[in-house]
Amino acid sequence: MKPPHAPAHARDPDDEARCHVVDTTMFWSPTGGGVQRYLKVKHAWLARQPGWRHTVFAPGARGWGFEDAGGIPLPGLGGYRLPLDRRAAARRIEALGPDLIEAGDPLRLGWASLDAGQRLGVPVVAFCHSNVMEMAARLLGGPNWLRRLVRRTVAAYLARMYRDFDLVLAPSRSMAEQLRAIGLNSVEQQPLGVDTRAFHPSRRDPGLREELGIAPDVKLLLFAGRFAPEKNLPLLADAVRRLGKQYLLLAVGDGPLPPHGSRVQRLPYEPRPAHLARLMASADAFIHAGDQESFGLAPLEAMACGTPVIVRKAAGLAELAEGGAALAVDSDKPAQWAEAIAALFASDTTPWREAGRACAERYDWDVVLPQLVTCYRRLMHGSRLTGEEATLPALHWCGMPASSSLSSPMAPTGKDVL
């Protein structure tokens, strides 16, 4: 286990003008994604903070404060590339002169970040953005015994890798609990966030339907994100098909597994926040059936737009739904998703809109990122949480106790709904 330390390269962490954070990740592609959104927002936010400097080191990253890490293309994974030369990557990270390094993936760049941090004597943080164990099991497929073996093998790998980091951050309670379950002690919950000014109910545009050729009486259901297996888009397409001609699924994004069907309309990946907010605020509901989400940036952005949200009652999405902020469906059956969607529109959606917006305001980037910077400062002063000190406070970020029931007086009730 890596000992706590202060920077060894003669930089005083109290001198804010010298605080340089370097983020590394392979999760960077032309089709975007949650990690890329988080890093771009953090980059812009830190640029506004006196004395902070931020660099992103990732495959394909370009522009001021961005360094292209190179790498080989990974077919079928939405444009992701994998850097292979650990030593070369470590040398490039080291040359950037960071005061703290944050690694956003557990592969070559993660190891290179550790190498660079150890040579420089600076703290290295891991941010566990994805449920890698489940992703690997789904990608390889096969019988249940093989999936269990894959999960155990990946868990052992993550435990070995992450034990050398000064701190491991997880965006949700469920992800933090999984990391502790594989034997990691220095784990903290650090949620992601949303720009509640860019994503706002005022972005609603009644003219969007006419622009897209959608009739005024059709219930417009929106999904925005990567078209990847773990998003379970065929389930959503089937559910909307069962609901009939009065419902339409608008899928915005890109990836290897786009949804298909007579009640599905697709738009390309939308990188512009204002345009995405217009889509979200103008939809009748936002739906997301992913069962492996470590957080759920897109559903949170829809909540900020005052749009009712329906999510899978699993992992990080279930946590976002707490307190009636979203409708959570505990099923992977299209028929039961269709019932839940119909139940939402059979009720007054105002409580869902108001609760979702209130939840999003508690996750505003101006709330979340100062807490992250406080964590960075603590590490640069040589402090590290271990064991009982790393236990999360018994609070949910939307104001709900961690042990609270998911039921709410505002929420519809039923076997598969909340």
Domains, the chain, with CATH or none: 16-194+365-390 (3.40.50.2000), 201-361 (3.40.50.2000)
pLDDT reading at 384 higher than 60: no
pLDDT reading at 10 higher than 60: no
User: How many CB atoms are closer than 10 A to CB 205?
Assistant: 14
Mean pLDDT of 89-115: 97
Cα torsion 196, 324, 293, 59 to 10°: value is 0
């927002």: which residue's tokens? 41
Q: Which residue has the higher pLDDT, 212 or 6?
A: 212
Q: Is 241 helix (H, G, I), strand (E, B) or coil?
A: helix
pLDDT reading at 66 higher than 60: yes
How far separated are the first and last CA of the chain, in Å rounded?
Answer: 41
The per-residue pLDDT for range 201-215, each reduced to its tens digit, is 999 999 999 999 999
Tokens of 380: 């640069």
Residue 132's pLDDT band (cuts 50, 70, 90): confident
Share of the chain above pLDDT 70, in %: 86
Residue 399's pLDDT band (cuts 50, 70, 90): very low
Mean pLDDT is lowest, of 119-133, 210-224, 382-396, for 382-396
User: How many CB atoms are closer than 10 A to CB 154?
Assistant: 20
């469920």: which residue's tokens? 174
């910077």: which residue's tokens? 373
Nearest to 220, CA basis, from 378, 90, 344: 344
In this predicted structure, what is the pLDDT of residue 56?
97
In this predicted structure, what is the pLDDT of residue 365?
97
Mean pLDDT of 263-278: 95
Q: Is 131 helix (H, G, I), strand (E, B) or coil?
A: coil
In this predicted structure, what is the pLDDT of residue 75?
76
pLDDT reading at 283 higher than 50: yes
pLDDT reading at 387 higher than 90: no
In this predicted structure, what is the pLDDT of residue 43?
97
Q: Crossing angle of helices 108-120/144-162, nearest 10°?
A: 10
C-alpha to C-alpha distance for 231 and 179, rounded to whole angstroms: 22
pLDDT reading at 401 higher than 90: no
pLDDT reading at 254 higher than 60: yes
In this predicted structure, what is the pLDDT of residue 394?
29
In this predicted structure, what is the pLDDT of residue 80?
84
The per-residue pLDDT for range 353-368, each reduced to its tens digit, is 999 999 999 999 999 9
Residue 138's pLDDT band (cuts 50, 70, 90): confident
Q: What is the DSSP letter of 3?
A: P
The per-residue pLDDT for range 151-174, each reduced to its tens digit, is 899 999 999 999 999 999 999 999
pLDDT reading at 14 higher than 50: no
- Contact between 54 and 64 under an 8 Å Cβ cutoff? The reply is no
C-alpha to C-alpha distance for 368 and 353, rounded to whole angstroms: 22
pLDDT reading at 92 higher than 90: yes
- Contact between 224 and 276 under an 8 Å Cβ cutoff? The reply is yes
pLDDT reading at 282 higher than 50: yes
In this predicted structure, what is the pLDDT of residue 160?
95
Q: What is the mean pLDDT of the chain?
A: 86
In this predicted structure, what is the pLDDT of residue 77?
67
User: Would residue 231 be called left, alpha or beta, if left means φ above 0 and alpha means ψ between -120 and 50 degrees?
Assistant: alpha
The per-residue pLDDT for range 219-250, each reduced to its tens digit, is 999 999 989 888 999 999 999 999 999 999 99
pLDDT reading at 331 higher than 80: yes
- Contact between 285 and 310 under an 8 Å Cβ cutoff? The reply is yes
Residue 125's pLDDT band (cuts 50, 70, 90): very high
Nearest to 219, CA basis, from 244, 186, 246, 197: 246
C-alpha to C-alpha distance for 204 and 208, rounded to whole angstroms: 9
Task: Give one DSSP letter per residue of 255-317, joined into a string.
Answer: SS----STTEEEE-----HHHHHHHHHHSSEEEE--SS-SS-HHHHHHHHTT--EEEESSHHH
